[in-house]
Amino acid sequence: MSMSQDEMKQAVARAAIEHVPAGIIGVGTGSTANYFIDELAHIKGRIDGAVASSVATAERLKKHGIRVIDLNEAGEMEVYVDGADEITRHMAMIKGGGGALTREKIVAACAKKFVCIVDQTKLVDVLGKFPLPIEVIPMARSYVARQLVKLGGNPVLRAGFTTDNGNVILDVHGLNILDPVALETELNQIVGVVTNGLFARRGADVCLMGTPEGVQTLTR
Ligand SMILES: O=C[C@H](O)[C@H](O)[C@H](O)COP(=O)(O)O
Convert the pLDDT of each residue in 174-220 to its tens digit. 998 999 999 999 999 999 999 999 999 999 999 999 999 999 999 98
Residue spans of alpha helices (H) in the chain = 5-16, 31-42, 55-63, 71-74, 101-109, 141-150, 180-188
Sorted by sequence, the CB contacts under 8 Å of residue 10 that are 6+ apart come out as 35, 210
Measure Cα distances from 101 to 84, 167, 172 in Å. 10, 12, 14
104 is catalytic: yes
Res 1: pLDDT: 54
Residues 12, 120: contact at Cβ < 8 Å?
A: no
Active-site residue, from 39, 104, 135, 184 = 104
Ligand 1 within 6 A of CB of 104: yes
Asked whether the ipTM of the predicted complex exceeds the cut of 0.90, the reply is: yes
Res 7: pLDDT: 95
- Reported residue count of the chain is 220
Containing H/E element for 220? none
3-state helix, strand, coil in the chain (%, to 5): 35, 30, 35
Res 220: pLDDT: 82
Please tell me the distance from the alpha carbon of residue 163 to that of residue 192, in angstroms, as a whole number. 15
What mean pLDDT do residues 77-87 have?
A: 98
How does pLDDT run across 28-76, given as a tens digit for each residue? 999 999 999 999 999 999 999 999 999 999 999 999 999 999 999 999 9
Res 79: pLDDT: 98
Res 38: pLDDT: 98
Please tell me the residue having the least CA distance from ligand 1 atom 12: 32
Res 98: pLDDT: 98
Q: Structure pTM?
A: 0.97
Please tell me the residue having the least CA distance from ligand 1 atom 10: 30
Q: Which amino acid is at 175?
A: L
Task: Indicate which atom in ligand 1 lies nearest the CA of residue 34.
Answer: 12
2 has pLDDT over 80: no
End-to-end CA separation in angstroms for the chain = 29
Res 3: pLDDT: 86
How does pLDDT run across 125-151, given as a tens digit for each residue? 999 999 999 999 999 999 999 999 999
Taking the alpha carbons of 43, 72, 203, 150 in that order, is the dihedral positive or negative?
positive
Q: Which of 80, 85, 87 to mutate to test the pocket of ligand 1 (most atoms within 8 A of CB)?
A: 85
What's the 192 CA to ligand 1 centre distance in angstroms? 23
Residue 98 known to bind ligand? yes
Sorted by sequence, the CB contacts under 8 Å of residue 210 that are 6+ apart come out as 3, 7, 8, 9, 10, 11, 12, 117, 118, 119, 120
Helix (H, G, I), strand (E, B) or coil at 191: coil
Residue 85 known to bind ligand? yes
Domains, the chain: 5-124+201-219 (3.40.50.1360), 132-197 (3.30.70.260)
